[in-house]
Structure formats: structure tokens, C-alpha cells
Amino acid sequence: MQKIGRWPVLNKNDSFQFACHKGLSCFTQCCRRLEVMLTPYDILRLKMALRLSSEVFLEKYTETVFSEKLGLPLIKLKRDTNGCPFLTAKGCQVYKDRPTVCRLYPLGRAFSDRIKKEVYFLIQEKECLGFRERKNWTVASWIKAQGVEEYDKYNEGFSELIFLKAKRPQGLNLKESQMFFMACYNLDAFREFVFKSSFLNRFDIPPKRVKKCEKEAKALLQLALDWLKFALFGQPVLRVKTS
């Protein structure tokens, strides 16, 4: 069986046995030890749920790490003495808007450079009593039940950036790293960049898309990711005005 580290790799039709609930003595223990990496959509959902600006959320709840393997700045959730800063005596304070990593658990997901796609693996921790519960899932049914599908819809563009970076031999320079950070993680700053600079004069963005970006943060995030694909990796997803 193929493994990532010591965890078995699964495809979407593979099954596993698991259930998590307050009746388990290990309830929320994974929240205390799990390292949570955040996608751009995770950050968007959390900062909106907490009614915080991008900058305040990033400063208060996250730290930036640079992945030597990916050659990109990544964001992870800060840990406190309780583990996750959103963990309360009653459980997760932001459960409705919890990050992708939390939704997937006990599944994990990794990027495979060999097959250029994401693969799933099962995190079978001895401490987790959920594996003793008689509830069966396939990877696909778990993803659907945990609301991962919507997250994947908006995470797809971020995954594409990671794959594009893997094809580019040289690293990002300082200016490119700053562009990547703003567009992926500081959506409020990207909004100002789009609507208060020459951005809309330089790019031929359909009026309907501009209006949607004004009203919907999700649409603005998709524009931000498209801009990075164009500006950093030369993908023809945006068009420069000719006059």
C-alpha cells in the first residue's frame, strides 16, 4: 500500500471507519495538536466570520512560514496554550467556517509532484478513539458530508498556483513574494489595489465581473488568483488592454 510518511494513501472510493462526537474522551484533542495551514479561502471565511479586516486577522491569528519545498510563503494558524485559538470548552468557536484541514480530518491531503494532483491519506492516530466508532465512510462521502466541496471549489485556484510554481525553476523575488502574499492572503489590500490603482485601466475585465468583485469577496479572490497566474506564471487568464 502506498503511504505518505506512515499514513496510508486512499483514493476517493476507498472506505474507512470513523466518527467524532462529544461522548469520546479524546474529543477536541486533535484541535490541541493539529498544525493548521490555511488556504486563501480559509482566511476569507474566518476573517468574515469574525468580522475582522484581513490585516487584523492575519496579525492576531496567523504566522507566515516560507516553504523551501514549494518556494512560496504560506500561512498557518497561531497556536496558544490551548492549541487552536478558536477552541472553547464547548468545542470549536468557528465550526461553521472551520478551515479545510479541520474539515478533512482524519483525512489529510498532499500534493504529488509525480502525478501532478492531490492525494488523500488517513491519519490513524492511536490517541483518536473515533476510529473505534462503527460509522463507515468513503473518502468521497466524507468530503461531501464535511462541506469540503465548496472549499475545494475556491481552493482549486490556489492549488494551480502551487503546481505552476513547481514548474518554474527560479524562486520568487521579493516583489513577487509580496504580490503573492497580498493576492492570496490580504484580500482587503488586493481590493484597494484593484479599485484604487490603474489595475482596471490596464486589464480588460468584463464589467459584470468587476461588479461581482465589488460585491462578493469570493469573486474578488478568484480574480486575485487569476492575476497571480497571469503576472507570475504567464497564464492567459487575463487580458491586457491594447489601447
Listed residues 153, 178, 203: the one ending a domain: 153
Cα(110)–Cα(117) distance, integer angstroms:
9
> pLDDT by residue (tens digit) across 67-104?
888 889 999 999 988 889 999 888 899 999 999 999 99
Judgement on whether residues 113 and 203 belong to the same structural domain of the protein: no
d(CA 231, CA 240): 11
Q: Tens digits of per-residue pLDDT, 132-170?
A: 999 999 999 999 999 999 999 999 999 999 889 988 878
Can you give the pTM of this predicted structure? Answer: 0.92
Burial 44-55 (b: 16+ CB within 10 A, else e): bbbbebeebebe
| 191 in the same domain as 128 | no
**Any domain includes 190:** yes
Q: Are residues 177 and 219 in the same domain?
A: yes
Measured distance CA(196)–CA(121) in Å, rounded: 44
CB of 225 closer than 8 Å to CB of 183: yes
Identify any residues that bridge with 37 across adjacent strands, giving them in sequence order: 76
Structural domain ending residue among the three candidates 122, 153, 184: 153
